[in-house]
């Protein structure tokens, strides 16, 4: 009786093992895959922590080579670019009735030049699919340059294809107003500096003796 019971128990254990073995194999395989993925995420092979910084340095150099000195100084000092609107009555330039502020990785903000009234936000994206690691976003300065080129080359097309929203959807209106005030102060200080540089210093003219006065004997 005991022998028969023991044999039946062994047979039952073997049957249960055979039934459970495929499930256990799948579970172990899944566990190994998850562990391998976690290890790769924790220490990606060939990842360079300085990649983003060097990419931004190259992007800033490219932006500086494409825009004029004034725009580069604006971006360097303030962190954004202003582009005059070209579809108004005043045309593009300082007489334009409206303009845009370009921020890195934020919507382009349109505003009225005379009053500072905010008009719209235009959402456009320029992803960088060439990066093997990290985010697919362009470096900050490359994103600004891409928006600047699209806006200055074909403003009507960019405005028509962008996702348009009312002010405040993604960019804080108070921030934009502060930036417009910063821009006004920056331009005033820049104008004063340039005016001072052009103003001749009293007494700094021709230092040669007056030819109408004879030297003392």
Domain spans of the chain, in order of start = 53-196
What does each C-alpha distance from 104 to 47, 111, 182 come to in angstroms? 24, 18, 17
pTM: 0.67
Average pLDDT, the chain: 78
pLDDT-based confidence at 194, cuts 50/70/90? confident
- pLDDT digit string (tens) for 40-55? 444 444 556 688 889 9
pLDDT-based confidence at 16, cuts 50/70/90? very low
Q: What is the pLDDT of residue 90?
A: 67
pLDDT of 216 higher than 70: no
Nearest CA to 141 among 54, 68, 58? 58
pLDDT of 29 higher than 50: yes
- pLDDT digit string (tens) for 119-142? 999 999 887 666 555 456 789 999
Residue 106 CB contacts under 8 Å (≥ 6 apart), including other chains: 170, 171
Whole-number Å distance between alpha carbons of 122 and 159: 7
By residue count, the chain amounts to: 217
């Amino acid at each position: 009786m005991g022998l028969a019971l023991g044999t039946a128990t062994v047979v039952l254990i073997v049957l249960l093992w055979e039934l459970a073995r495929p499930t256990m194999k799948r579970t172990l395989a899944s566990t190994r895959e998850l562990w391998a993925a976690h290890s790769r995420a924790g220490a990606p092979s060939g990842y360079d922590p300085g990649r983003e910084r060097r990419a931004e340095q190259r992007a800033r150099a490219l932006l500086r080579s494409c825009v004029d000195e004034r725009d580069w100084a604006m971006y360097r000092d303030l962190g954004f670019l202003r582009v005059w609107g070209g579809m108004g009555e005043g045309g593009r330039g300082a007489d334009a009735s409206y303009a845009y502020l370009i921020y890195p990785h934020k919507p382009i903000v349109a505003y009225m030049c005379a009053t500072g009234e905010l008009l719209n936000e235009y959402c456009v994206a320029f992803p960088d699919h060439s990066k093997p690691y990290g985010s697919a976003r362009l470096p900050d300065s490359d994103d600004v340059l891409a928006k600047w080129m699209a806006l200055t080359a074909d403003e009507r097309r960019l405005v028509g294809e962008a996702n348009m929203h009312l002010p405040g959807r993604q960019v804080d209106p108070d921030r934009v107003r502060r930036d417009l005030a910063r821009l006004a102060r920056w331009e005033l200080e820049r104008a004063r500096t340039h005016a001072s540089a052009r103003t001749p210093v009293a007494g700094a003219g021709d230092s040669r003796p007056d030819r109408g006065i004879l030297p003392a004997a």
